[in-house]
Homo-oligomer: A and B are copies of this chain.
């Protein structure tokens, strides 16, 4: 995925609608959290086993929410000038140290 290109498209989308005034990192963090909750809502009354065997319509709903989370994540990173890929690399190193293979 070309994150830089996605971020540029989201910026153009916001510019065209005069939305930058609403896109403070604080508000984007709220929106991200709300989308993560909508994603979670799909699973709230399922068993774990059921969540591993989604129907086609459940997968469509999940894909829709995954997209929303990805879009707001790309957007907040752009507004706060953070490189997602570098942040992920750093975190993978940190996690490898935090959870050593026994």
Task: Chain B residues near A47: list those with CB within 8 A.
Answer: 26, 48
With known contacts A33-B40, A84-B70, A48–B26 Cβ distance under 8 A: yes
CB-defined contacts of A85 to chain B, threshold 8 Å: 1
- Let me know if B17 and A31 touch, CB within 8 A: no
A21-60 vs B, CB cutoff 8 Å, 1 = contact: the mask equals 0101111011111111111111111111111101000010
Report whether B88 and A67 are in contact in the complex, using a CB–CB cutoff of 8 Å.
yes
Chain B residue nearest in CB terms to A43: B26
Question: With A1-B84, A38-B37 given, is the CB distance from A44 to B27 under 8 Å?
Answer: yes
Decide yes or no whether A80 CB sits under 8 A from chain B: yes
Q: Give Cα A24–Cα B24 distance, bound, in whole angstroms.
A: 17
